[in-house]
Amino acid sequence: MTASSRVAIITGASRGLGAVIARVLAERTYDLVIGARHPESLQEVADALARHGARVVPVAGDITDARVRGRFIDAARELGGLNVLVNNASELGGIGPLVDFDVARFGHVFSVNAGAPVALIQLAVPLLAERRGLIVNITSDAARGAYVGWGPYGASKAALELLTRTLASEVRDRGVSAVIVDPGDMRTGMHQEAFPHEDISDRPLPEVTRTFWHWLFDQTPSDVSGERFEAQAEDARWLQPA
């Protein structure tokens, strides 16, 4: 361990976009704390990342569990600190009209998509402040699109976007930055869950966002704080009006 080691936490990292972001960071010589609910697939990703020379700590469990969030922070501290926190873990909550939606399930969707990221951020800010670090919160175009059947998920992501913009202002004086990233439609497990009877092979794989992630992690965090980005925007026009 060295005090100069760069460290990142990525939630929802056992597949799809989270695994891609983790691989980009490993290639950039970050040590990693990665999380997901399923330990077997998470360990497979951890083993693959370690081949890049990174130290990787897998944390299996539900991100809404305070004990799991504590393990993320403890692991980052043991690796030497924290430079980047990526809140990628999300819950779709099912697709269907609001008039039929089980209102009791709102609590779970919002807890995963908005509450848990804020709770993890609260724990992470002291470490991030030591390194003038960056928080990346993953959103969706559903936060703006008012798509039929996507109401609870879209509302939770809209909440996350507002929370992120507010957070960016509140932690600026502590040297911590925060951005929102919409990765766009991709061929992922969650997207297939949203369209269970459709062929989604026309959607790009999450690797399509790699160029964006390399660009983002090249930036000085304070220069981009509070901004919203679309990772698949054409001609590298990633910055979008917040």
User: Catalytic amino acids?
Assistant: 153
DSSP codes joined into one string, 21-71: HHHHHHHTTEEEEEEES-HHHHHHHHHHHHTTT--EEEEES-TTSHHHHHH
pTM for this model (two decimals): 0.92
**pLDDT number for residue 191:** 60
| pLDDT band at residue 190 using 50, 70 and 90 as cut-offs | low
Q: Whole-angstrom Cα distance, residue 28 to residue 40?
A: 25
- Identify the structural domains of the chain with CATH numbers, from first to last: 6-240 (3.40.50.720)
Helix, strand, coil percentages (3-state) for the chain, rounded to 5, are 50, 15, 35
From the list 111, 120, 105, 93, the residue with the least C-alpha distance to 178 is 120
pLDDT, tens digit, 9 for 90 and up, residues 74-110:
999 999 999 999 999 999 888 889 999 998 888 999 9
**pLDDT number for residue 13:** 97
Work out the mean pLDDT of the chain and round it to a whole number. Answer: 91
> Do 199 and 151 contact (CB within 8 A), yes or no?
no
Average pLDDT over residues 141-149: 90
**pLDDT number for residue 1:** 36
Instruction: Give the length of the chain.
Output: 242
Is residue 199 over pLDDT 80? no
Least trusted range by pLDDT, from 76-85, 132-141, 228-237:
228-237
| pLDDT band at residue 2 using 50, 70 and 90 as cut-offs | very low
